[in-house]
Copies of this chain bind each other. A is one copy, B any other.
Amino acid sequence: MIKNLLLSLIFLTVLSIAVQAQEALFGAQQIISPEVHDDASVTFRLLAPKAQSVQITGDFLPTVKMETPRGTFDGPGKADLTKDDKGVWTYKSEVLKPELYNYSFIIDGFTTTDPNNPFLIRDVASATNIFIVGGGHADLFKVNDVPHGSVTRRWYDSPGLGMDRRITIYTPPGYENSKDSYPVLYLLHGAGGDEEAWINLGRTSQILDNLIAEGKAKPMIVVMPNGNVIQDGAPGEGSKGFYKPQFMVAKTMDGTYEANFKDIISFVESNYRVKADKSNRAIAGLSMGGYHSLHISNNYPNMFDYVGLFSAAIMPREDATGKIYDNFDGKLKAEMDNGYKLYWIAIGKTDFLYDANKEFRAKLDAMNMPYEYVESEGGHTWRNWRVYLTEFAPKLFNQ
């Protein structure tokens, strides 16, 4: 009979071939990357004996100014790794602030993923590695030992769009074994996103689990739909199969989505135990999703008591041909007159939409429409949107 040890070795050998591990299994050191140290510095490692240069780029490094034909933007910094005699390249960061960071390696000019870190998130068409430096608000992004909600990917019927569409639903801890009804936050993604964006890039389930456990947010259902009306599901998850995702998708900001949002509300309110009244509905979104939230909230009168615009794409648009955009000022005025509990606007100081949001706030000021305003550091990034969610969710459904 074959002994366990030998079989384990064969197991490992077969596995290593199957997954094409880059490391030789017998004798080679185990590469750990990234390694987050107790002092919150981080070491990155890469085995690449033949490479001439290896750099790292990511949002944990100080930004650099990038000149482009369209202006000057903050771009991610880069740092050089150094090579040891075994071909292992290493970079140790400064002590980092608590945050969820992303990074990529640049090997001889080629930007790629870290083969020793399988934790990747897709943003539009690119996958980048992530890591968390804990502490402070970053602990909200971790899976902690607290009661956990459930996350379901299911499909709803949209009669208006003539298709079944994929949707992501977070239900809070205890939902399944309770008879209670819950309030609902509709949480909308930006251009290039889909029903996977908030749950993956946005860490929605971790944030809600942790805020609810701390008593800082009310137990709520969070509905994360797909805002691209030409898709039935995210790239790779819908009937169009695998294809390279695009940032600009047709018909995302022409009013079709807003006009058919009632199908989503109808689905949620007939399939979940929800408190189906204005004081228990919130809608928020980032960038394009902020634009959607703005227009949905003023086109569905008396539907939402809470509205959140995260780095919202507030701007007159030539493709905004839908009737849903008619009489914008009049609808805003009606929304104000109907009353609501919170109209929350947040944007980063270096966001390219900063001026558009400033103009919009001036409009609200001129008409005496009340809102709360948060101005953060940074720009048009998921780092900000995760933090906005941690700040917005505790303000919901408190009355």
Contacts and interface: CB of A to CB of B under 8 A. Distances in A.
Interface of A: 1-15, 17-22, 26, 30, 32, 48-51, 57, 66, 68-71, 73-76, 104, 107-113, 115-120, 122-128, 130-132, 142-145, 147-155, 164, 166, 176-177, 191-192, 232-233, 235-239, 241-242, 244-245, 247-248, 271, 315-319, 352, 356, 379-381
A5 B380 CA distance: 18
Given A20-B57, A143-B239, A244 B117 contact: yes
Contacts of A119: 235-236, 242
B153 A1 contact: no
Given A19-B124, A152-B152, A14 B379 contact: yes
A194 to B, nearest CB: 12
B244 A32 contact: yes
Contacts of A148: 154-155, 164, 166
B70 A176 contact: no
A10 B50 contact: no
B118 A122 contact: yes
Contact of A380 (B18, B20, B76): B18
Contacts of A164: 147-148
A13 B73 contact: yes
9 closest A-B pairs by beta carbon, nearest first, are: A150-B154, A152-B152, A4-B318, A19-B126, A148-B155, A50-B109, A112-B112, A118-B122, A22-B111
14 contacts: A1-B316, A3-B318, A14-B380, A18-B123, A19-B124, A21-B126, A48-B110, A118-B245, A120-B120, A143-B233, A143-B239, A148-B155, A150-B153, A177-B271
Contacts of A177: 271
Contacts of A3: 318
Contact of A176 (B11, B132, B154): B154
